[in-house]
Structures are given as C-alpha cells and as structure tokens.
C-alpha cells in the first residue's frame, strides 16, 4: 500500500480502541517472569553449551601470538574459536568495526576469541587460561587533541549554507559565540547483549536481543557467507536497547560460530564490563554555536558546527540536525567534522543527532535570551517558523512548538521565575527554573505485516517488528482491533521473527508510527477480502463489534471463515513536500546545595506535539523514561576515557552513573491534541526520543538560574559548580 493520499476516508479515525490508554498486553508475561528473553529459550534449544568472549587487552595494534592449548584441555571445554580457525568471514553493512578481531586490533575489548564449554563457569575459567601477546601501536583517543587537524566535512555530509552567515553575524547587534562539549555515553540497557544459536544442517536459528530483525538477518548472513534465507532470527522480547542493539554484535556472531563448531546449541552473553567497549556508544562532541540577533530578538544569523570522533568507517554524530529547522533566521550555517579515533565504535543512542545537539543549542538560546534581556520562552516564540528556513516553499506538516511552550509555561508556573540568577533561596538550597524547546525529526520506514482472521473471529498479526519495552505489542493490537472491529482481547500479536514480513523495526523514533501503518495496510487488504467474501462493497463496509455492516445489512465476522492478507506501507514523496518533525517544551525546577553543589531536580514537565498519540499510557511511559535519560545526561552520565591506553574506564554499572529512583522527581507529561495526516494513515508520529531532546539543556538552564554558574561542559558535576557558588551565609 502506498501512502500518498492523506485526505482519504480512514477507518482508524473511529478511535474505539486506538488513542485510548490501554495496559500493555505483554505486561503480565514480563511481570511474572514468563516472557523468554534471548538467553532463556531453554526448551527451544536444549543442552545448550556456553560461550565466554575474550576481549582485546589493547586498543590498537596486532596479536602476535595466541596460546589456547591450556584452555582447550580445561574441564568441559568443547572449542576455542578465534579468527585463525573461524573460517573466512564477510562483513555486514551496518558494522564499522570488525566483530571478531585478529590479528589486527581496532579497539579495546574487540572480541578476539570465544571459549565454548558445557557450563558458563567452565568457559569463563578456561578463558583465563588463554595467553595472548600483542604488539601495541599508538592510537588517537582524545577528541580535543584531534579536533584542530579536522577542518573539512566528511564527503557524505557537506556544510549546509543559507544566505551569508559571516557578514550577517559580524553586523548583528547582539552576538553569542560559545563552545560546548558532550561526553561519550553508554546505553546501559537492563538486558545485556545475548544470543543463542542452533544449526540444523546448513540452516541457522538465532535467538537474540536485537531491535532490527532484518538488519540482523542480512548482516549475519553476509558475515557467515551463507544465504539470507538460511538465517532465522527470533527476538520477541528485548530488555531495553536505546540504539545499542540496532546492529549485529559479537554475541550473535560468536554464538553462531560456536554452535557450528561443536554441532550443538551455544549461548553467548556479553558480560556487563565488556559491553561499553565491545559494542557501540554515543560519541562525544565538541560543538560551537554562534547566534546573531537584532535588538528586538529576531535571529539574523545562526551557525552550529560539531566535531566528533569515530573508528574508520564509523558514522558522524549529526548534532546539527535540529538547528537546520528549529528557529527562523535568513543566514545559516551548519557543519559536521569527523576525527579518526581508535576508541570503540560510536553510533546511535536514543535520538542520535538531536539529543546531543539540543543539549547545546538550547543552552546557547538561553544565553542569547539573557544577552537580549528577554524571557527565554518569548525569545523562542518570536523566532518560530512555520516553514523550512532553507526552503520557504516547504512547510511543516504540523508545527505546534509555540503551543508547547505557551502551555508548558502556564502549567509550570513559569511567570513565578525570577529572571535574575541566584536570587531564590530555601535555607541551604538555591532554587531555579529552566526551560528548553524539544525537537526530533519524524522519520518513516517501509513496514510490512501479515494478518489472519480465524473462524472464531480472532485476529492474529505477524510482523518482525520488535518491542524493546516500548509497547509495540499493544499499539499493534490496538491498530488491528480498530481496523477489524473486534475487541482488543480478540487480537494476538506475534513479533520479532524473521519469518514474518519485514517491518520498520525499533529505532529512530520511527517504530510505532511505521509499524502500525504497516499493520493498517495489511488490515485494509484483509477487510477487502472479508467484504468480498460476504458480498459487501469494501469501500462502504463498516467493521465494528465483531460484525461487518453496510446500511441495514449486518453479518458476523465469523461468517467469513479463515482469511489472511499481507501488505506493506510504502511512503510516497510527502516528506519531500513537507518537513515532518516533532516538538516539545521542557520545563525544569532544580535546587542546588550552596555548600556542596549537589543538584536535585524537583519538577519536570514535558509538553509534546507528536501527532496522534496511539496509546497515551504507553506513550507517557516512553516520555518519562526519556526525561529520566535526559536527567542522567545532564548530571552524571559520562564514559571516562583512559587517553593513554584508549578505553572506557568506568565500563560497568557500578562506575557508570545512571539515575535511580531517588534522583527522579515528579514528572508530568502533556500531549497536545494533534493529528498529522501527512505523516501516515495512523496520523501519528514518534514520541519516545522527543522526550529526551532538550531535557538536559533545560536542567543546565535551571542550574544557571539557581546559581548564576553557567556550565557548558556536560555532565554538570559538583566540581564544575563549586567555584562559582555564592558564599554560605
């Protein structure tokens, strides 16, 4: 089904099931511990052996020797697999770094071998017996040191220029030119990267924790040099991903290699300390923002340039995404720079691009508002734009940023904020308010589904879409129930299996909107089949309460018997005609201890405009989770680099700080009443990543309002505040 006519009549608009706050249908399975995760398919692959991954002890260089004899003789050991005996391996399209290294080493903790044994303990003990000698080479590990040499953009991301920025900035009445930094961050999902593999002849079944089933299937087939149809990937339940499980990782490859070697199922789980260095992370950035405005606050020139580093072939962190669209201004410049670093691969983490970009841009906007002696909300409002600033003929499909800001300010009590920093005090605590806009582009992906109607009137949906804790099962069930006119409990949803039609997968905030649109397309076909079977006009038939109706005629859905349909949603060129984005207003209140610099976030509010909200309960859960990650990014999250040896030092959950319950204040989420018929037949957009975009800056701005200390380098830790705090009275 090609979506190119947003004006057509749409049965989803009945809103009998869609748009209502239903509980997650997978909730009982997860809360009772009966939902099987990647490491737990014991009945499907009995007698599984265990693989323990050995990671490189150096960040750059070569393996000169690897002695595995003692490990091979250890109790219970079945095989030791390395690049020497794994056979010829290919490389998938989605991975920059090699998943099984040797003899060349590309980053610290790159997998160089897996020891397979009868038990996990035996595999771990034997892995300690493997003796590896290296020739270490000098690497580049410090972005700040490499930045001066990187002066040109990557070939695939040239600078974007509109108007004449340099002259407009030079002549601006009020100017800001500031540099900010964001650190490397780790996904730290609750479930580790884990896989279990079993071979049946030349066919492989992989149970894994992966957000994008088709990507995993195709890249694993390419890596193993086998036909794609010989790889069956299953991932129905995922314990969090945040982008860290978008791609094929070493656990899946090594489980497959181990199982092939011993002709027995093998399960591999990356230990927690290995995950930050072995898998991907959000890369650090250095960002320069320049803004020029007239005395009335209208932006006349805006530039945003960002530097990050990555392994050769790794992607650029597109931290300037939002600056292309968020505010008006005739003269504009955005540019990206990519340094070569010998750290682990930097790649997608929740809202790549906009999350670190908004951390910076929205502090700069706050600083500019202060220079102009304007309220930060009003400064943003007067620089709103309803068109793409680079192409005024291209309008936003929906843009309610001003409404988000206005409603947020009123609900939060913004008018009570003292604009002069450091003036509000409650005993030892300095109290302040801050705000920021939120922005995340709305992406759509081709997505397919198969829908079955059985003779009892039940509906089964099959799609390789995944649920990473986001509620995919529930909103897909709601879509099918709405389209086929049956109660929610008459719908069964099957996800995360490469035997099902290829979906959008979970990533880029495209999952909910695209996958439900794919189910919508399949249901349109099934409705046609039912109508034709029962002698109805498909264009006039109404499906409701388990029946199909037209005028006075009504027939039970069960009379159609068993029918099936399959289709995909394919998006036309509407994204070329319209700019599609999501918007938010974030408001924060903090208290800072005047003696210690301890920051306590007291209140958080997000007002979101993101199309139709398919399930307000699950959507709210996604937004408050994103707000929590934004708090972590603002105050504590940082992968600390040993710049001599080239690795992340705090590579476990004991040393990598993330927010806990005690850190989380009252959180409120308001969804504006909005539908976007340009986005999809669901008239929805993504919202789970919008919730993080801007939160960290709102916290930084609130801290400045409380203390008068402006911090431009994340995270905002005590040492960055103490010197600037006022004297204790």
Token representation of residue 531:
């109508």
**Identified catalytic residue from 362, 367, 589, 689:** 689
Sheet with 542-544, side-by-side order of all strands: 542-544, 547-550, 553-556
Query: Residue 568 half-sphere exposure, CB side, CA atoms within 13 Å?
Result: 15
Identify the helix (H) or strand (E) that includes residue 67.
strand 61-67
Q: Is 518 helix (H, G, I), strand (E, B) or coil?
A: helix
Q: By the 8 A CB rule, do 511 and 44 touch? A: no
Strand pairing report for 285-293 and 299-310: antiparallel
Q: Taking Cα atoms as reference points, which of 267, 250, 314 lies closest to residue 102? A: 250
Q: By the 8 A CB rule, do 66 and 113 touch? A: yes
Cα-based distances in Å from 307 to 77, 154, 622: 46, 11, 29
| 155 classed as catalytic | no
How large is the greatest C-alpha to C-alpha distance in the chain, in angstroms?
Answer: 84
Rounded to whole angstroms, the Cα distance separating 331 from 389 reads 9
Rounded to whole angstroms, the Cα distance separating 337 from 157 reads 9
Q: By the 8 A CB rule, do 242 and 466 touch? A: no
Residue 391: count of CB within 10 angstroms of its CB: 10
Q: What angle do CA 227, 233, 234 make, to 5 degrees?
A: 165
Rounded to whole angstroms, the Cα distance separating 67 from 76 reads 18
Sheet with 104-105, side-by-side order of all strands: 104-105, 61-67, 131-136
- Length, in residues, of the chain: 729
- Neighbour-count burial of 627, counting CB atoms closer than 10 A to its CB (0-12 exposed, 13-18 middle, 19+ buried): buried
Identify the helix (H) or strand (E) that includes residue 52.
strand 49-55
Catalytic site positions: 689
């Amino acid at each position: 089904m090609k979506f190119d006519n947003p004006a057509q009549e749409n049965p989803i608009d009945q809103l009998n099931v869609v748009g209502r706050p239903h509980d997650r249908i997978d909730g009982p399975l997860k809360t009772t511990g009966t939902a099987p995760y990647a490491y737990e398919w014991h009945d499907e692959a009995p007698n599984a052996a265990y693989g323990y991954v050995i990671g490189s002890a150096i960040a750059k260089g070569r393996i000169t020797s690897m002695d595995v004899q003692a490990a091979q003789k250890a109790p219970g050991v079945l095989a030791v697999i390395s690049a020497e005996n794994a056979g010829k391996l290919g490389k998938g399209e989605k991975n920059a770094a090699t998943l099984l290294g040797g003899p060349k080493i590309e980053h610290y903790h790159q997998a160089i071998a897996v020891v397979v044994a009868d038990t996990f303990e035996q595999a771990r003990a034997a892995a300690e017996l493997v003796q590896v000698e290296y020739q270490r080479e000098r690497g580049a590990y410090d972005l700040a040191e490499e930045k001066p040499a990187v002066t040109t953009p990557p070939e695939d991301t040239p600078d974007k220029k509109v108007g004449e920025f340099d002259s407009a900035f030079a002549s601006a009445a009020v100017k800001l030119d500031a540099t900010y930094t964001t650190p490397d961050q780790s996904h730290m999902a609750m479930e580790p990267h884990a896989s279990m593999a079993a071979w049946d002849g030349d066919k492989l079944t992989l149970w894994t924790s992966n957000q994008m089933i088709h990507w995993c299937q195709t890249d694993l087939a390419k890596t193993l040099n086998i036909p794609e149809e010989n790889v069956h990937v299953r991932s129905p339940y995922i314990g969090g991903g945040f982008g860290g499980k978008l791609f094929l990782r070493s656990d899946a490859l090594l489980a497959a290699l181990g199982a092939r070697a011993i002709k027995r199922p093998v399960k591999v789980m990356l230990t927690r300390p290995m995950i930050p260095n072995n898998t991907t992370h959000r890369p650090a950035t250095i960002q320069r923002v320049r803004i020029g405005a007239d005395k009335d606050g209208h932006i006349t020139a805006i530039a945003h340039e960002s530097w990050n580093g990555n392994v050769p072939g790794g992607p650029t962190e597109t931290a300037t995404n939002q600056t292309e669209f968020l505010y008006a201004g005739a003269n504009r410049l955005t540019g990206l720079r990519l340094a070569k670093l010998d750290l682990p691969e930097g790649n997608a983490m929740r809202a790549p691009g906009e999350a670190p970009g908004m951390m910076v841009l929205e502090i700069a906007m706050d600083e500019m508002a202060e220079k102009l002696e304007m309220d930060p909300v009003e400064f943003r409002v007067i620089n709103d734009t309803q068109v793409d600033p680079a192409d005024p003929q291209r309008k936003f499909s929906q843009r309610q940023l001003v409404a988000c800001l206005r409603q947020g300010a009123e609900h939060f009590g913004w008018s009570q904020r003292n604009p002069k920093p450091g003036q509000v005090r409650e005993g030892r605590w300095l109290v302040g308010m801050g705000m920021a806009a939120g922005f995340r582009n709305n992406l759509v992906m081709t997505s397919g589904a198969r829908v079955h109607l059985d003779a009892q009137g039940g509906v089964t949906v099959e799609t390789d879409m995944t649920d990473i804790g986001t509620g995919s099962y529930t909103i897909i069930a709601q879509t099918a129930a709405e389209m086929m006119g049956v109660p929610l409990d008459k719908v069964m949803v099957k996800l995360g299996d490469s035997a099902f039609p290829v979906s959008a997968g979970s990533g880029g905030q495209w999952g909910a909107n695209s996958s439900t649109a794919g189910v919508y397309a399949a249901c349109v076909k099934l409705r046609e089949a039912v109508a034709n079977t029962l002698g109805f006009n498909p264009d006039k038939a109404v499906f409701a309460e388990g029946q199909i109706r037209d005028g006075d005629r009504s027939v039970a859905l069960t009379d159609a018997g068993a029918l099936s349909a399959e289709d995909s949603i394919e998006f036309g060129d509407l994204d070329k005609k319209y700019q599609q984005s999501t918007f938010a207003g974030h408001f924060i209140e903090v208290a800072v201890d005047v003696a210690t610099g301890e920051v306590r976030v007291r209140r958080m509010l997000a007002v979101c405009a993101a199309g139709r909200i398919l399930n307000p309960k699950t959507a709210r859960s996604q937004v408050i989770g994103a707000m929590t990650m934004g708090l972590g990014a603002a105050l504590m999250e940082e992968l600390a680099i040993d710049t001599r040896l080239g690795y992340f030092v705090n590579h476990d959950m004991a040393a990598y700080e993330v927010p806990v319950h005690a850190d989380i204040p009252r959180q409120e989420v308001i969804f504006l009443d909005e539908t976007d018929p340009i986005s999809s037949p669901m008239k929805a957009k993504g919202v789970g990543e919008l919730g993080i975009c801007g939160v960290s800056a709102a916290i930084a701005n609130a801290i400045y309002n409380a203390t008068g200390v402006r911090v431009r380098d994340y995270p905002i830790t005590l040492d960055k505040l103490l010197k600037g705090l006022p004297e204790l009275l």
